[in-house]
Amino acid sequence: MSNDILENYIRLVQRVDSHTRRVDAAFSGRMACKKGCDACCRYLSIFPVEAFAMARAFLNLDQDRRERINARIKEAPEVCPLLVDHVCVLYHARPLICRTHGYPVTFESDGALQVDFCPLNFKGVQHFDQEILISLDQLNQVLFAVNARFLDQIDTEPLLPDRIPIGDALFLLA
């Protein structure tokens, strides 16, 4: 699979990463989120475009590691199989939900805008400036459009489901 077909997705990932780097800098020392803090690494379902990006990265792991991860899917189905010894094996290729998790996000619920973030982070912070907040509704809209464009460009038979469990996603290109 060429990079071109994932270009829009890669660009979106870069935008999100650049935003979260700014948040890291603004709240330096007030975020618990770091390597080993992995309570949020549960079993996920992701969009096909993310699934293919992860499957491609997964192919670059050595066979032993791929087999170990495959075994983990059966051993602990509720935990993300990529979490090995408290470290994400494909951290550089993790999906967008993992890139935004724990950061201050907004989303609409029952007609009202809600703000959420990991309770371990931002201790004592009472207010977030608008530019710090990630609108999950907007991000999901863009991701949805990027995914739709990606699906237009590939030809799969049978058609892919709307969301793909991470354990299946890893083996899409195997």
For the bound state, the minimum distance from the C-beta of residue 101 to ligand SF4, rounded and expressed in Å, comes to 8
For the bound state, the minimum distance from the C-beta of residue 41 to ligand SF4, rounded and expressed in Å, comes to 3
Distance CA 168, CA 173 (A): 10
- Per-residue binding letters, 117-136, with ligand SF4 (x by CB under 6 A): --------------------
Distance CA 88, CA 160 (A): 25
- Per-residue binding letters, 24-63, with ligand SF4 (x by CB under 6 A): -----------------x--x-------------------
Cα 39 off chain centre by: 15
Size of the site for ligand SF4 (CB under 6 A): 9
Instruction: Figure out which of the listed residues 59, 83, 118, 132 binds ligand SF4, where binding follows CB under 6 A.
Output: 83
- ∠ CA 65-2-172 to the nearest 5 degrees? 45
Bridge partners of residue 83, in order along the sequence: 88
What residues contact 165, with CB distance under 8 A and at least 6 apart?
A: 43, 44, 45
Determine, following the binding rule CB under 6 A, whether residue 72 of this chain makes contact with ligand SF4. Answer: no
Give the binding site for ligand SF4 (CB under 6 A). Answer: 41, 44, 80, 82-83, 88, 91, 94, 98
